[in-house]
Every structure is written in structure tokens, then in C-alpha cells.
Amino acid sequence: MTMRNPLRTGESPESTARSSQRDTLPHIVADFRRQVARKLGRGGNPEDQLRAPLEVILQRLGTRMGLRVTPYGEVPLHDIGSRPDYAVDVERSRVGYVELKAPGRSVPESPTWRASERERRQCERLRELPNLIYSDGTDWIRYQNGVPGKIVRLNGSDASLTAFDALIREFLLWAPDPPRSVRDLIRVTSGLCRLLRDTVAELLEAEKTGPEIGPFTHH
């Protein structure tokens, strides 16, 4: 077996070690937190300052797992009338979605979460997706078919890094899970029915107050 000699490629053992260290989870997370902190407080929408660091951390964590991760911004989901901040592909397959909130806002299911009416309706729609992450950069939560996981607070501790690593792995390695029982089938379809009910209700209300008669209120 041929071994690569780092000295022949212009790399010293020290630089090779530093490169390996940069690929560790603590280093990747520390880089993410530094990038977010550097961008905040210099004008602009606070939520938007998370976007570039989020793309980088998802791609780096994917590379660490041997996956090619590509986040796509502002992908509309016409079926549910919403548009999460990111759709995420692994290789060429869509695995999930990410919704960002301004740093310090926390996430749904947190006691400090204070949502506007628009955000509440958006959350009710998005969380019925099969694989969704909400994050404000510090707090992270994953929903699977409307069921919330535990909130992970990314504070740099070993416990938070372990929980964050598990959350990201579950998100990026997600695959459709067919219902194994009638109870599972009811749980999945009930979420879709709620989305349809809310969408129809909003259309009815819009047609009542709008200048034109629509298909639901036509006589």
C-alpha cells in the first residue's frame, strides 16, 4: 500500500494536524458561533445574518459525515402555502427544511418563544413537514411529521455538542418512514388534513373580503 508523504506534497505534519483539528465538531461549531457573532450588530436584518454561517456549518458537518450537502434558500412550498428559509439536499435528494429566527428569539416549544400571529400560522404549517429544523443560531429543534424533539441549546458544552451532533445526523440522514400501523397512518394524515383545513379556511376568508368572487364562494 502506498502511503502519502506529507513532506512531498508540501504539507508539514503540523499543518496536516491543524487541518484535521479544523474538521472536528467542536471546531466547526466554534467557527459557526464566531461567524454569527461577527456579523451581528452591524446593520441589516438579524435573522439574515444567520444565513451564510448556517450554509457553511451544514456543508462542513455533511462533509464530516461523508455527505455532499446543499442548502437552497427561499424554496416555496405551494402545497402548504409557505416558504421555509432553506430546503436542504443531500447529494441530489431533498431531505428536509430549515426555518431561521433572529438570534435570541429562541424556537417553538421554548417557554421564551413569543410568536406573532403570522409566525404561529407559519409554524403550524411548517412543523407538519416530515423533517424540519427551527433555529435562532443558539437554540435548535427538529420536527418530524409534527412531532417535536428536544430543544438543543448550542452553548459549547460537551453535552450540547453531543446533542447537536445527534440532531444534525438525524436531520441529514433522514429517509421516508412508511407507516407501520393504523395509528402511524392516522398521525401522518391528520397533520396533512390540518394543513388542508387551514389553507381552505384562509382562502374562504380572503374571498369574503376580496373584490372578486372565488371558486369557494361562487354561487
Does 190 share its domain with 143?
no
pLDDT band at 182 (very low <50, low <70, confident <90, very high): low
Torsion angle in degrees (nearest 10) through CA of 203, 96, 32, 123: 30
102: left (phi over 0), alpha (psi -120 to 50) or beta: beta
CATH number of the domain where residue 57 is located: 3.90.1570
Work out the mean pLDDT of the chain and round it to a whole number.
82
Does 122 share its domain with 197?
no
* pLDDT (0 to 100) of residue 214: 56
pLDDT band at 205 (very low <50, low <70, confident <90, very high): low
Does 123 share its domain with 216?
no
Does 149 share its domain with 207?
no
Mutual orientation of helices 25-39 and 13-22 as an angle, nearest 10°? 70
Between 75 and 195, name the one with better pLDDT: 75
Count how many domains the chain has.
2
**Closest CA relative to residue 170, chosen from 189, 143, 196:** 143
What residue numbers bound the domain in which 210 lies?
Answer: 179-219
The pLDDT of residue 79 is above 90: no
* Domain contains 2: no
- Please give the model's pTM, rounded to 2 decimal places: 0.75
Does 160 share its domain with 195?
no
Q: Are 112 and 123 in contact (CB under 8 A)?
A: no
Does 91 share its domain with 187?
no
Does 43 share its domain with 109?
yes
The pLDDT of residue 105 is above 60: yes
Between 42 and 152, name the one with better pLDDT: 152
User: Maximum Cα–Cα distance for the chain, whole Å?
Assistant: 81
* pLDDT (0 to 100) of residue 81: 83
The pLDDT of residue 171 is above 90: yes
Tell how strand 132-135 and strand 69-73 pair up: unpaired
Average pLDDT over residues 19-39: 88
